[in-house]
Amino acid sequence: MPGTNLSRAEAQERAALIDVVSYDVDLDLTAGSETFGTRTTVVFTAAEVGTATFIDLIADSISSIDLNGTALDPATAYRDSRIEMSDLQAENTLTIDAVGNYMNTGEGLHRFVDPADGEVYLYTQFEVPDSRRMFAVFEQPDLKATFTFHVTAPAHWQVISNEPTPEAIAAPNAANADGIEVARWEFPATPRISSYITALIAGPYDVVRDEVTSTAGTVPLGVFCRKSLRPHLDPENIMNITKAGFAFFEAEFAHAYPFTKYDQIFTPEYNMGAMENAGAVTIVEDYVFRSKVTDAIVERRALTILHELAHMWFGDLVTMKWWDDLWLNESFAEWASTTAQAEATEWEQAWTTFATSEKAWAYRQDQLSSTHPVAADMVDLAAVEVNFDGITYAKGPLS
Ligand SMILES: [Zn+2]
């Protein structure tokens, strides 16, 4: 019984059998405070006709499954967070209509109500295996595909994803049950990326916009936070670090920024420091400073900004096949961001800070019974979840 787990062996077997062409994901965020509508159409190929595989989904309920024009019964096809499919064709089209659950744990599509003004803020956190909480997906990093998102949401919201936000259009039913005006956003397709770096952020976020000149042209920049936090946001510092990082990484990596825009969104009730969603980085809201902080905290935020930006090239453009190489993803981002901070910002002593904080974190972690080799043996998703630690992040850059 896999429950919500997925083993490396299963992932390897699935990647040997199928290639994913595209996902088309239609989300209805106007269905109330507990659930949302999610309809996924996946086009994928199979190396062998007549074989079987499965797709991942953690849903409240599934109303229909259609594989190549044949209806599958959710009651029998859906169990243990998987939808089983057999009799695959060379090219397959799978459509799944489901109801998803908003989360309050920071996994999947998180929903937060601002106590200051009662506004609703949504954001996603998908690493490691939680995009399946928002849409049906082959949830493993090596099965890259294009993703096209369609979103129906309250008209006054900002809706942010990996691609630039399109002009909102009037939704077919212009008002939902609560009488709130709703609109529809039809995003362009992403480049081929892993599902864990796709993202959706939606709500009446406030935004500061700017742009940076990349070697491939102008890249729009956005910094977002809750409306009630806007008086505390210091966007100039964040934009300046971001621009310094763009120039440094493009020169050092000899490769233009690989996505079309770069948004950074400060999100509430966030479990981690930040997440490198392609072109739509989420950052813990503690980094919007509500009172005067020490320079060490500002330095730490700058490192986080550069860490996520480094991931656009290393992690997002170039991605590990499986989570065994998580250490390389994270340690390289730590090394690249600390180097950028030392050489392209005012914090020239960044490696000294690394030695006293990150290196100490690695030493401390190494003394525990939970220590592990830098390159860990990630046999399944459960093993990955416990390895976001001082070894994976901070010991690797020392190697
Ligand atoms: Zn990272």
Which residue from 229, 296, 300 is spatially nearest to 266, judged by alpha carbons?
229
How far does residue 294's CA lie from ligand 1's centre (Å)?
A: 24
User: Residue 127 C-alpha to ligand 1 middle, in angstroms?
Assistant: 10
Amino acid in position 288: V
Contact 260, 279 (CB under 8 A): yes
Q: Are 369 and 353 in contact (CB under 8 A)?
A: no
* Predicted local distance difference test score (pLDDT) of residue 179: 76
User: Rounded to the nearest whole angstrom, what is the distance from the C-alpha of residue 213 to the centroid of ligand 1?
Assistant: 24
- Per-residue pLDDT at 170: 84
CA–CA separation, 27 and 100 (whole Å): 9
**What is the whole-number distance in angstroms between the Cα of residue 150 and the centre of ligand 1?**
28
- The alpha carbon of 236 and the centre of ligand 1 are apart by a number of angstroms equal to 23
Task: Please state, in angstroms and as integers, the Cα–Cα distance from residue 220 to each residue in 39, 239, 242, 252, 340, following that order.
Answer: 30, 11, 12, 21, 21
Whether residue 373 contacts residue 327, with contact meaning beta carbons closer than 8 Å, is answered with no
pTM here is 0.96
Supply the pLDDT for residue 388.
Answer: 87
- Active-site residue numbers? 308
Radius of gyration of the chain, Cα coordinates, nearest whole angstrom = 21
For position 173, what pLDDT does the model report? Answer: 65
* 3-state percent breakdown (helix, strand, coil) of the chain, nearest 5: 30, 35, 35
* Burial category of 104 from C-beta neighbours within 10 Å (exposed 0-12, middle 13-18, buried 19 and up): exposed
State in Å: Cα 4 to ligand 1 middle: 24
Distance 204 CA to ligand 1 centre (A): 27
Distance between CA atoms of 119 and 366, rounded to whole angstroms?
43
Give residue 334 CA to ligand 1 midpoint distance, Å: 7
Residue 1 confidence (pLDDT): 42
Q: Which amino acid is at 292?
A: K
Residue 317 alpha carbon to ligand 1 centre in Å: 14
* pLDDT the model gives residue 177: 57
Per-residue confidence (pLDDT) for residue 62, from 0 to 100 = 98
Q: What is the pLDDT along the chain (399 residues), one digit of tens a residue?
A: 468 999 999 999 999 999 999 999 999 999 999 999 999 999 999 999 999 999 999 999 999 999 999 999 999 999 999 999 999 999 999 999 999 999 999 999 999 999 999 999 999 999 999 999 999 999 999 999 999 999 999 999 999 999 999 999 987 666 665 678 999 999 999 999 999 999 999 999 999 999 999 999 999 999 999 999 999 999 999 999 999 999 999 999 999 999 999 999 999 999 999 999 999 999 999 999 999 999 999 999 999 999 999 999 999 999 999 999 999 999 999 999 999 999 999 999 999 999 999 999 999 999 999 899 998 899 999 999 888 889 999 988 876
Question: Which single residue is written with the structure tokens 């690989």?
Answer: 258
Whole-number Å distance between alpha carbons of 148 and 41: 10
Residue 97 CA to ligand 1 center (angstroms) comes to 33
Dist. CA 332 → ligand 1 center (Å):
9
Task: For residue 266, give both structure tokens.
Answer: 């400060």
CA of 337 to the centre of ligand 1 (A): 10
CA 86, 91, 95, 96: dihedral to nearest 10 degrees?
Answer: 40
Q: Whole-angstrom Cα distance, residue 333 to residue 132?
A: 26
Whole-number pLDDT of residue 399:
60
